[in-house]
């Protein structure tokens, strides 16, 4: 029973839902980028190595954030003492090592990308996240980078560029919303997030600007006949209306409870967007 509980604890700190989303992102990126010959095994390895890299990033982020999480998220594994810092660090090394190993069987370029992503995630957790907007940019960039990785796995990076841009923008929005949610703990720890430095009003204005750009850009792949009508219908019926709702809700209620809900809705909207791209390919 104790062994079972320990396994569950390791799963919790690795954020399996986020890992699954990363796996799906890269798998969809591979599928929409396929042109000519491809390897199913390489697609699976790309998805697994990306998911493991994301999980390792979550672990090292919690490792460096333990004091902040005692304020913001005391229910998490490390603040509750369910894992020691040494156990968390060893788990991070293990996950990163397996991710690098899997990428070797894809290509040298894939190995270099996983190494770059892992290094950037470490630097983000250690220092970059404390720089206003740059930390948000890095997380959003890495999400878009996952699509590029999928393109690399099937030797067609160009086809992954548009979904990479969309993923970058929607996650940039989500990162700012999460900073708004975490503002009290960030202030106590001296972290200068964009909302902490410039206030909620400017943070909301930035979110609106990015959202407008994203909504406008969602139309172009259909106009340019890159994706079929299925993509357009899902985007116009689900993705964009949900973005508009999120903006309205953000201005109506900026409580922590609602900000957390909006953060989850943005995550859901990315999954819906992936579905639109998959159906419209």
Q: What is the pLDDT of residues 12-60, one digit of tens each?
A: 888 998 899 889 889 988 988 887 778 999 999 999 999 999 999 999 9
CA separation for the pair 124, 106 (Å, rounded): 26
Give residue 129's pLDDT.
82
Q: Which residue has the higher pLDDT, 185 or 236?
A: 236
Stretch 157-177: mean pLDDT: 92
pTM of the model: 0.82
Q: Could you tell me the maximum CA-CA distance found in the chain, to the nearest angstrom? A: 57
Q: Which fold has domain 2-280?
A: Tetracycline Repressor; domain 2 (1.10.357)
Give the contacts of 203 (CB within 8 A, at least 6 positions apart). Answer: 176, 179, 180, 194, 195
Mean pLDDT of the chain: 90
Q: What is the pLDDT of residues 58-100, one digit of tens each?
A: 999 989 888 777 777 778 888 888 888 999 999 999 999 999 9
**Residue ranges covered by each domain of the chain:** 2-280
């Amino acid at each position: 029973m104790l062994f079972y509980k320990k396994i569950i604890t390791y799963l919790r700190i690795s954020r399996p839902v986020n890992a699954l989303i990363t796996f799906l992102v890269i798998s969809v990126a591979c599928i929409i980028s396929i042109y000519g010959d491809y390897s199913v095994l390489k697609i699976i390895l790309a998805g697994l190595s990306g998911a493991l890299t994301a999980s390792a990033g979550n672990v090292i982020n919690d490792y460096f954030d333990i004091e902040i999480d005692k304020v913001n998220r005391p229910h998490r594994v490390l603040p509750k003492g369910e894992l020691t810092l040494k156990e968390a660090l060893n788990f991070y090394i293990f996950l990163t090592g397996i991710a690098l190993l899997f990428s070797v069987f894809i290509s040298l370029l894939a190995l270099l990308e996983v190494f770059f992503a892992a290094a950037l995630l470490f630097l983000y957790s250690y220092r970059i996240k404390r720089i206003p907007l740059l930390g948000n940019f890095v997380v959003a960039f890495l999400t878009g980078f996952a699509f590029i990785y999928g393109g690399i796995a099937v030797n067609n990076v160009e086809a992954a560029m548009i979904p990479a841009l969309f993923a970058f923008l929607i996650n940039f929005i989500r990162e700012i919303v999460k900073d708004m949610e975490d503002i009290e703990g960030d202030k106590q720890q001296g972290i200068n997030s964009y909302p902490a430095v410039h206030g909620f009003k400017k943070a909301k204005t930035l979110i609106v600007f990015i959202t407008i750009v994203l909504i406008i850009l969602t139309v172009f792949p259909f106009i340019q006949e890159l994706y079929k009508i299925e993509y357009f219908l899902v985007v116009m019926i689900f993705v964009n209306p949900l973005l508009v709702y999120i903006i309205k809700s953000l201005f109506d209620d900026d409580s922590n409870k609602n900000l957390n809900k909006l953060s989850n809705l943005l995550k859901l909207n990315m999954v819906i967007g992936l579905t639109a791209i998959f159906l419209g390919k």
